[in-house]
Amino acid sequence: MPDARTARRRFVAVSFLFWLPAGLVMAPMVLLFTERGLSLTAIAGAFAAHSLTAAALELPTGGLSDVIGRRAVLAGAGLLNVCALTLMGLGTTPWVIILGTALMGAGRALSSGPAEAWYVDTVHAASGPDADLRTGLAHGSAASSGAIALGVLLGGALPWLLGLGPDPGARLRALTSDLVLPLSVPVLLGVVIDIVFIVHVLTALTEPPRPAVTLRGVLRGVPGAVASGVGLGAGDALIRRILMTAGAAGTALAALELLTPGRAAALTGTAETGAVLFAGLAAAGFACSALGSRLAPLVARLAGDAERAVLASLGASVAGLLALGATVSATGAPALTTAVVGYGLVYLGLGAAGPTENDLLHRRVDTSGRATALSVQSLAQQLVGAAAGLAIGALPAGPLPWLFGAVVLLAGALLWSRHTAPAPQAAPAPGCDRG
């Protein structure tokens, strides 16, 4: 098994390689689907297929990782993403593209937790249960956010660059009979990176030998791990607090994702230029999240303990949402500057809170349920964020939707204003039959 420093480097590399293709796809995806002839309804269906598949498989795949191992599940996630991006980049019919987005949702569910669980398990094996986790978790989170930011910029720039000069994009279309469009290039580049990701996972994420697992063992073990994950917060106030905070963070992110594109379009005057501005803002937001993650250990030291650090970090995000709400109908350079700073603050605070929350979570669960716990946390963020998105969309335009997001996130932050009892002895998840 690698030592703690080597494990951190490998975890950072895995985090970066997994999220870079997601960033590459983010900017051109809607435009690519539109050029393939999909209606807005069909595009919405494709997005729904991704979200519903990811949500449905979140807990079972977390349990699968706890039963059969981290490396196999992560490699499976990479393989699903290779298939998904190939279908999305080359597909010309709605059903092929929707299948691609559903497979990408399955890959997202498989990837939720195994890499971080591998890192924590490896550090504990190398340095003991009291080893520092926050620094490595912060670096991994920063790598993920930085990869998305870089991917968004590359994904937006590559199709534009292919249209310059002698127009290599037109020649690409002609050579492939319109199978490969300039907008397909970032998606297909993501396929190449996902292949590199699979190779890295299989060669770098070494695990101790596990007993042979039979199909019967998997079928028995995964439901047990899932049931353990669902009941995580029942007997532990700190875990309940972490899960509730994940839902509050999902609400804040839903507000940003739903409301920022419209503000960008209103600011620039057209939807097209607004989309360009939003891509730049999204990249800047993920860069702020990466910076916040790297600052998480420093924030914890300055705050004096982990719980006060989470409170301070989420408080910064609340201030950012309030700044966005206060400037929603204002004009002029000061209002624009305040809004941009507020946008960055939301991501900065959420980025700083995440590694510290996860450090606390890993000290409350053991290796037999670690990936499942991370899946429960991710599912809480997704489900509450989706419900909050519906509520935000129903509110009248103006500061009220931003205020709603700020109030929910403030409630999540205030959960950390009181200290919890010391961690109880971690109880193992239900055992699985390997015979």
Contact status, residue 43 vs residue 169, Cβ threshold 8 Å: no
3-state secondary structure of 91: coil
Instruction: List the chain domain ranges.
Output: 1-227, 231-416
pLDDT at residue 216 in the model = 57
How far is the CA of 7 from the CAs of 11, 62, 197, 265, 304, in angstroms?
Answer: 6, 21, 16, 44, 27
b/e map 395-426, b = 16+ CB within 10 Å:
eeeebebbbbbbebbbbbbebbeeebeeeeeb
Q: Fold for domain 231-416?
A: Growth Hormone; Chain: A; (1.20.1250)
Give the residue carrying structure tokens 């503000």.
Answer: 263
Contact status, residue 58 vs residue 375, Cβ threshold 8 Å: yes
Ranges of the chain with pLDDT below 70: 40, 62-63, 66-67, 164-167, 169, 208-235, 270-276, 368, 421-435
Spatial CB neighbours of 427, under 8 Å, sequence gap ≥ 6: 366
CATH homologous superfamily of 1-227 equals MFS general substrate transporter like domains (1.20.1250.20)
Contact status, residue 147 vs residue 290, Cβ threshold 8 Å: no
| Distance between CA atoms of residues 121 and 365, nearest Å | 11
| Distance between CA atoms of residues 324 and 330, nearest Å | 10
Provide the phi-psi class of 236: left if phi over 0, else alpha when psi is between -120 and 50, else beta.
beta
pLDDT at residue 104 in the model = 93
The model's pLDDT over 262-312, given as tens digits with 9 standing for 90+, comes to 787 787 776 556 666 777 888 888 889 989 999 999 999 998 888 999 999
| Distance between CA atoms of residues 419 and 429, nearest Å | 26
pLDDT at residue 162 in the model = 79
Give the residue carrying structure tokens 């699985």.
Answer: 432
CATH fold match for the domains 1-227 and 231-416: yes
The model's pLDDT over 103-153, given as tens digits with 9 standing for 90+, comes to 998 998 888 778 888 898 899 888 888 888 888 988 998 899 899 889 988
